[in-house]
Structure 1
Amino acid sequence: MIHVMIERHIAEGMLSTYEEFSRKALQETYIVHGFISAETLTNTNDIHHRFIMCKWRTQKDWNRWYQSRERMELMNKVYPVLSEPEKILVLEN
């Protein structure tokens, strides 16, 4: 099992738009092969700073999803509301 931490900074005035698009993207992820779970966290000092912690069965499952056309289509809606590119860290235990 691997853990994927996605860090995002949301542009000012775009919180509700981000939350709508992010929620839809997460709903689509729940049906992807190899996906186990996810939780969204907010920095208590900055509501525009978010983290998504996902668990995937394997690195291969994550890579397949990360490079998929489906994820790209979903993220093309999320990326414009970010103030900087997302950062992704893949971890294993």
Structure 2
Amino acid sequence: MIRVMIERHIADDLAEYYEQAARNTLQTAMQAHGFISGESLRNTNDSNHRVVMANFRTIQDWQRWHGSAERKEIMEAIMPMLDGEEKITVLEH
């Protein structure tokens, strides 16, 4: 199993819209091959800093999801809400 940490910083006043988009992303990711679980967290010191933790069976499963048309479509909706690029870190035991 691998864990993927996705860090995002939301532009001011867009948190409500981001939350809906993030929920849609998680619902779609749940259907991805090899997806195990995921959660979305908010930094207690910076409410615009969000971290998504996703567990996938293998790195190949993550790469398949990361490059999928479904994720690209979702990211087209999320990217305008972000203050910069998302940062992705793939972790393993």
Q: Normalising by the residue count of structure 1, what TM-score does the alignment of the two structures yield?
A: 0.98
- Which residue number corresponds to residue 91 of structure 1? 91
Q: How much does 1:31 deviate?
A: 0.9
Counting only pairs closer than 5 Å after superposition, residues 48-87 of structure 1 correspond to structure 2 as 48-87=48-87
- Which residue number corresponds to residue 15 of structure 1? 15
Name the SS for the 1:84 alignment partner: coil
Q: Normalising by the residue count of structure 2, what TM-score does the alignment of the two structures yield?
A: 0.98
1:23 partner letter: R
User: Sequence identity, in percent?
Assistant: 52
- Structure 1 distance, partners of 2:50, 2:70, is 22
CA-based RMSD: 0.5
Gaps of 5+ in 1: none
Between Structure 1 and Structure 2, how many residues are aligned?
Answer: 93
